[in-house]
Copies of this chain bind each other. A is one copy, B any other.
Amino acid sequence: MLGSEEIIAELMGRIPRFIGLMLSGSEIEAADGLSQSEFRTLINLHRCEGRPMADYSKQLGISKGSFTYVADNLEKKGLIERVPMLNDKRKQALFLTGKGKVLARKIDAEFTQNIKQNIACLKRSDINKLESALRTIDHTIDLLKERT
């Protein structure tokens, strides 16, 4: 007899497969000469700008060292800019440039469209359950962050 915790641990291992299925096809859309991390960073910035770099690296799930590389490339392409924060000189806030905003809006729309297509085969009731499940996960993020 397994407790909830064991079941959760078991199910955690399946999430990458879920992501793979939900996002299949969007790599192709990413082909504005963007890597996956660049693509996702632009979307994250499109949804919330001006936060320190560490926040975006955590959102991506990559190390801060790796994210420096991603940010460097986006900056070279003229899509984002680093802005030192006034209240803490260690931190660099990220913002989209005008060019970056245009591209971010486009790929965010494509990303959403792609997910729509991928779940188009689901029944309405299954889509509703999925939405509810993802909301729970999003809420759990907040609960887990509080502790840290």
With A118-B144, A121-B147 as known contacts, state yes or no: A12 contacts B19, CB within 8 Å.
Answer: yes
With A4-B127, A10-B47, A144-B21 as known contacts, state yes or no: A15 contacts B111, CB within 8 Å.
Answer: no
Please indicate the chain B residues that have their CB under 8 angstroms from the CB of A115 in the complex. 5, 8-9, 12
Within 8 A of B (CB), among A1-49: 4-23, 40, 43-44, 47
Check B5–A12 contact: CB distance below 8 A: no
Question: How many copies of this chain does one complex carry?
Answer: 2
Query: Closest approach, in angstroms, between the C-beta of A137 and any C-beta of chain B?
Result: 5
Please indicate the chain B residues that have their CB under 8 angstroms from the CB of A20 in the complex. 58, 61
With A15-B15, A21-B144, A43-B13 as known contacts, state yes or no: A8 contacts B130, CB within 8 Å.
Answer: yes
Contact with B along A125-143 (1 / 0, CB 8 A): 0111111111111101101
Check B136–A133 contact: CB distance below 8 A: yes
Check B5–A119 contact: CB distance below 8 A: yes
Check A22–B12 contact: CB distance below 8 A: yes
Cβ of A116 within 8 Å of any chain B Cβ, yes or no, is: yes
Please indicate the chain B residues that have their CB under 8 angstroms from the CB of A119 in the complex. 5, 8, 144
Query: Closest approach, in angstroms, between the C-beta of A110 and any C-beta of chain B?
Result: 10
Cβ of A60 within 8 Å of any chain B Cβ, yes or no, is: yes
Cβ of A68 within 8 Å of any chain B Cβ, yes or no, is: no
Cβ of A66 within 8 Å of any chain B Cβ, yes or no, is: no
CA distance A46 to B129 in the complex (A): 30
